[in-house]
Structure 1
Amino acid sequence: MSGNQEQYTLGYGPASTAMMATRTAQRHAAFLLPHLKPGMKVLDCGCGPGSLTIGLAEIVSPGEVIGTDLEESQLDLGRTEAARRGITNARFGRADIYELPFEDDSFDAIFISAVLANLREPLRGLNEARRVLRSGGVIGVKEFDHGGDLFYPVAPNLAEGLDLYHRLRRHNGHDPESGRKLLGLLQQAGFRDSAATAVYETFSGPEVMPQVGGVFAVLVNEAFAEPFQRLGWATPEAVQRIAQAWREFSQQPGAFYAQAWCEAVARK
């Protein structure tokens, strides 16, 4: 199955894109940074709106970072932001992770974040990444693991929405608990010296939670309402109850949300 046949569960609407654009290399790729050096050639595979690509480009300058994605609108955002910031060593191009348009041994390092969890064949994607990584090169992979997410308090409508979201991921052929499987996938793909860790991205407090609740409420309508209703899993009224549950959750005293991520580094 080629990558352009994959169904990206979150979609590319404003809420999803804005959420991805908040990720920085210093925070989201911190586990890989000790392995990067100036002058390296790096591939950011599945780069989204490019915030991580640009951050990595600053770190390996005067080296080069190439950000690839299937969605042209995301690549345009990356190009625009790089130009705005005067970053000249980051470039963006459309590519399928299953069929990367690069020669063997092209990159010193590869970064893959929140991509494998959106693939029906994650091992195939890693095999292709290994092909374009030079011998001795480093790969850093980061994936969410929704089986480890923490929410408090959880009202019934919020719980229903989370269950439907995980169900939709599985319907699309994607594993909502992919993070914990990274180490095994890297080993199956033939990488060596692999090591994995787990971290949480946490959200709490009255300054943060209303924004989080608002984004997820919009995301329910932006990305999930249509498939939930088309598949017969929820009525329009139920979808709105789920969206409202996110808003109400974020207003609760002591509301807490922690998203589980797994990170792994290995070498070819």
Structure 2
Amino acid sequence: MRKTTAQQKRDTENAVTSDARARVRADESALSAPRRTAVTLGGAFRAFCRYPSPWIISAVLGVLLTGRIAVGDWRGEDAFAPLVLILLFPLLEWLIHVFVLHWRPRKVAGLTLDTLLARKHREHHVDPRDTPLVFIPWKALIWVIIGYNTAALVAFPRLGQALTFMITVTVAGLVYEWTHYLIHSDYRPRNRAYKAVWRNHRLHHYKNEHYWFTVTTTASADRLLGTYPDPAAVPTSPTAKTLHGQR
């Protein structure tokens, strides 16, 4: 008996779901398997420095620091905006992860609205062990750097104040890249705080992509926004590796 189009579609969806669940289980098993070689923090850092985004961010940081020293005009009030940014960073990280990186492509007037950041992040979920995909794509990174630096120059009344804020954002970006890389490397956690960060992000990739969105903190924003469940109470998502069922 010939299957209808609807039946064929259901069969295809079931096959994709079954395959996704099998791959997630395989990856979860691989995580608990012992590594053949131990990776030191120094070894991880040397590997981190082989990729373009740390160098791009570091170069921008060097220019900004030089500019800030040259401008002078040091005032205590300049620390206010950076302190607010540091306090809000977990929330900003959560919002970017949910609404930018997990953006679902949409068609508007026949055009597909998608971004390089979202596309590369979907690829990152397909293969979290593909190291180049761990980093912010350099083409997108250039525009991000131009964007926040321009915004700071417009928003702050003094150049010194703007440069202080720009330095803080740049350092935050470098911390994010290093932490995200380290989580996906073979380096194993040595202290409780980093172990919590490491575990939460691994759960996001290998358990359920709808939870555990923070990367650089111990799930502070996730706790606040209801995306920090008991892992035992959450089903393993068949689309943890194929966001929105897409590659």
- Please classify the TM superposition score into its range, dividing by the shorter chain length: under 0.3
As a proportion of its length, which structure holds more strand?
Answer: 1
- Give me the TM-score of the superposition, normalised by structure 2: 0.24
- Give me the TM-score of the superposition, normalised by structure 1: 0.23
As a proportion of its length, which structure holds more helix?
Answer: 2
Higher-Rg structure is 2
Q: Whose RCO is larger (CA < 8 A, sep 6+)? A: 2
